[in-house]
Chains A and B, each alone.
Chain A
Amino acid sequence: MALIECKDLSVGYDADVVVENLNFKVNNGDYLCIVGENGSGKSTLMKTLLGLQPPLSGKIETGDGLLPNEIGYLPQQSNIQKDFPASVWEIVLSGCQGRKGIRPFYNAKEKALALENMEKMSVAGFKNRCYRELSGGQQQRVLLARALCATRKVLLMDEPVSGLDPKVTAEMYELIDSLNKEGITIIMISHDIAAAVNYASHILHIGGTYFYGTKEDYLKSNVGRFFLSEAGEGGLANA
């Protein structure tokens, strides 16, 4: 049984269908990259997977004992309030809200888990700092630590490296890769096709063209070759 399986899934807003007829499954330990142009519906698909909005049609099935609230989520940066007064500790601890349930306060175990994940993401040194005063890369690691408090199984990430410089981007990819090697399933939206094919085990390409399959098949497919060569040219043009 797959961890997450989508059958004939259509996502969108009310009457606006953004993506139709998606069929794919994510198995335990997979590293799935969702790629596609701006506005192709990547974030919409992710929100639907998270249960933030209902699917327009089709089904999302979860298996392997995955509960709906056991998914860690790293939102697209723009969604977080910029001027919010919150310490790093408060934010990471809030990742345990799903475990806590209706109990009013966090217990010692949850606090230990938050601390452990902060150390793992090397943000424990900023424990009492204000979130909005951190750099972009530090902020992303704080949110990643929060997401890790919510799950031991699946992480959903919406463009985790947008706005980061090349060095921090590379570090972020390594960090995500090491989490995947520890057995956490990764579903990531990315604009960076080159990095996607480097790290991912599976690719889902949505938008004008549709592709779902392993990275190897993607590299051999027409879609993959076309977009990779385009990304390559873009890279050359930028250099």
Chain B
Amino acid sequence: MLDAFSKIGMYMQYPFVRYALIVGVLIALCSSLLGVTLVLKRFSFIGDGLSHVAFGGVAIASVLNLTDNMLLVLPITIVCAVLLLRTGQNTKIKGDAAIAMISVGALAFGYLLMNIFSTSSNLSGDVCSTLFGSTSILTLTAGEVWLCVALSVVVVAIFIIFYNKIFDVTFDEAFAKSAGTRVDAYNLLIAVIIAVIIVLAMNLVGSLLISALVIFPALSAMRLFKSFRSVTICSAVLSVISALLGILISIVAGTPVGSTIVAVDVAVFFICWVISKIRHT
């Protein structure tokens, strides 16, 4: 145990480890905030679909040899978020079918592109790291850290400013509309924020595991608390703790960062589930 602590202390000397912790905590915080809304609005599958779209975006960026793939991936993901939301309201194509189409299509298309055009010698390694998170979290530059900090501040600020509106449109859309709240605009805002968060979180856990980062803390918190505010705060706290623990464990044990964080999230969920069961008996 002591050994692990001294090892962590040693690693802390390195800026890249500190960067990884900062970025990891911020991403975990942002992704947990909207988790409650996503789960309750039955939007969680949109997160899943978007992460596959982001994967497709990364594939295109790598084929085009873009140095900063964020510039391409972010707009593509935002556009798809808006499109998915539109079709979700349209009764002609069922929302979930549209999401399945776009997400599986993007996944296949992305892999195809990477396969045909990739000049890399380690193709399956590239694909794997895009899907499951790469070590790129450990190779962040100061600039990337600042970008992440800035985006996180914006996301948290928007969430706080629109906290009450987000509650209104999540709890009862019909009532919100009748009270003059612009439900469509806020749904759009929620979709755009999700897109930003997903692109941010790609670096941390990879596109396959993002949904876990968004959904697990919310589900855990919903076992324990009963008001919207306490569930939101609790899920943010749980998510940050899981991310910290996950990153530290992965450093000490040498496990992949993304899947370790998600594993911790799952463990936390089970602990919360057990606590709620014990409380009810």
Contacts and interface: CB of A to CB of B under 8 A. Distances in A.
B177 A97 contact: no
A79 interface: yes
Interface in A135-166: 146, 150, 156
A87 B164 contact: no
A232 interface: no
Interface string B153-178: 00000001111110110111011111
B278 interface: no
Nearest to A50: B178
A90 B227 contact: yes
A121 interface: no
Contacts of B227: 85-87, 89-90, 128, 130
A97 B177 CA distance: 10
A150 B171 CA distance: 16
Give the size range of A's interface with the partner. Answer: 35 or more
B180 interface: yes
B176 A97 contact: yes
Given A87-B227, A130-B227, A94 B177 contact: no
Contacts of A202: none
Contacts of A106: 164
A104 B163 CA distance: 8
B182 to A, nearest CB: 9
Interface in A18-71: 47, 50-52, 68-69, 71
Contact of B165 (A50, A73, A97, A129): A97
Contacts of A47: 174
Contacts of A86: 167, 171, 226-228
Nearest to B183: A52
A42 to B, nearest CB: 15
B164 A97 contact: yes
A225 interface: no
B178 A51 contact: yes
Complex A-B, nearest 8 residue pairs according to Cβ-Cβ distance, in ascending order: A69-B180, A130-B226, A98-B179, A87-B227, A50-B178, A73-B178, A104-B161, A85-B231
